């Protein structure tokens, strides 16, 4: 269970948002909305422990994430704006190392299968720098097929993906939520998840409003 209490984010001397409180439980999906520059990415990075809140607290199963650190990170899968893949390595190598980083060691076969499933068949052995934007995005997203993290924090996961990939990703999200996972995502695209959007959080001038 992820809980936040009265979070505030200050960038420079501007308050991006304040008083953001919500609870995300198992089997729930939260959709984070807001105009450009309203602090969506900042909030997601804050929830990952990358940015420290100016005020407020984030807790995982009742304990502050600052204290839990790696224990919390083991439960967390974060895919940000940047794909986090090395241009010199092949998709297979990138996928295996990013899985190892998040604590699940996978075999080469598992990596091949995941990349196949996400639509990169025939590209597995090329250096990632020759891949298109959408293909790089797919390499980054292939992790969600292999992870056993409970909480997924996805920053604009649908960007640069084609229709088929978006549909597949939505199905994966639904399956994860159904199995007792938690998803927190932001996107400017329309999307539909079979299990439904359980929460919507709107970031705006008046701070955060959860409903």
Q: How far is CA 211 from CA 22, 95, 116, 198, 199, in A?
A: 9, 36, 38, 9, 6
User: Does 56 contact another protein by CB under 8 A?
Assistant: no
Distance, CA of 136 to CA of 123 (rounded, Å): 11
User: Does 98 contact another protein by CB under 8 A?
Assistant: yes
Specify the residue, 47 or 172, whose C-beta has the smaller distance to another protein: 47
Nearest-approach distance from CB 96 to another protein, in angstroms: 8
User: Does 50 contact another protein by CB under 8 A?
Assistant: yes
Specify the residue, 24 or 193, whose C-beta has the smaller distance to another protein: 24
Ordered DSSP codes for 33-56: EE-TTSSHHHHHHHHTTSS--SEE
User: Bridge-partner residues for 88, per DSSP?
Assistant: none
Stretch that binds another protein, among 19-27, 73-81, 168-176, 195-203 (CB under 8 A): 73-81
Specify the residue, 89 or 210, whose C-beta has the smaller distance to another protein: 89
Strands (DSSP E) contained in 116-206 are 151-155, 182-186, 199-204
User: Does 1 contact another protein by CB under 8 A?
Assistant: no
User: Bridge-partner residues for 34, per DSSP?
Assistant: 203
User: Does 87 contact another protein by CB under 8 A?
Assistant: yes
Burial of 37-76, coded b for 16+ CB within 10 Å and e otherwise, reads: ebbbbbbbbbbbbeeebeebebbbeeeebeebeeebbebb
User: Does 13 contact another protein by CB under 8 A?
Assistant: no
Residues 118-157 within binding reach of another protein (CB under 8 A): 127
Nearest-approach distance from CB 79 to another protein, in angstroms: 9
- Please select the residue that binds another protein; options are 52, 133, 178, 200, rule is CB under 8 A: 52
User: Does 20 contact another protein by CB under 8 A?
Assistant: no
Cβ neighbors of 201 (< 8 A, separation 6 or more) are 20, 22, 30, 31, 32, 33, 208, 209, 210, 211
Specify the residue, 72 or 193, whose C-beta has the smaller distance to another protein: 72
Structure tokens at 57: 């607290």
Specify the residue, 56 or 103, whose C-beta has the smaller distance to another protein: 103
Residues that bind another protein (CB under 8 A): 48-52, 69-70, 73-74, 76, 78, 80-89, 93, 96-98, 100-103, 105, 127
């Amino acid at each position: 269970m992820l809980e936040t209490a009265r979070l505030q984010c200050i960038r420079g001397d501007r308050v991006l948002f304040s008083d953001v409180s919500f609870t995300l439980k198992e089997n729930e999906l939260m959709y984070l909305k807001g105009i450009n520059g309203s602090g969506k990415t900042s909030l997601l990075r804050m929830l990952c422990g990358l940015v420290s809140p100016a005020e407020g607290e984030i807790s995982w199963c009742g304990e502050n994430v600052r204290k839990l650190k790696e224990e919390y990170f083991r439960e967390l899968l974060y895919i940000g704006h940047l794909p986090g893949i090395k241009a010199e390595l092949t998709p297979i190598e990138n996928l295996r190392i990013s899985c190892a980083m998040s604590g699940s060691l996978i075999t080469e076969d598992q990596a091949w299968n995941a990349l196949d499933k996400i639509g990169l068949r025939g590209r597995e052995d090329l250096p990632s720098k020759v891949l298109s934007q959408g293909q790089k995005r797919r390499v980054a997203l292939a992790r969600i097929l292999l992870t056993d993290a409970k909480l997924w924090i996805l920053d604009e996961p649908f960007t640069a993906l084609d229709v088929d990939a978006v549909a597949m990703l939505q199905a994966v999200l639904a399956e994860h939520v159904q199995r007792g996972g938690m998803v927190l995502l932001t996107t400017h695209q329309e999307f539909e998840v079979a299990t439904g959007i359980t929460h919507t959080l709107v970031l705006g001038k008046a701070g955060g409003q959860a409903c």
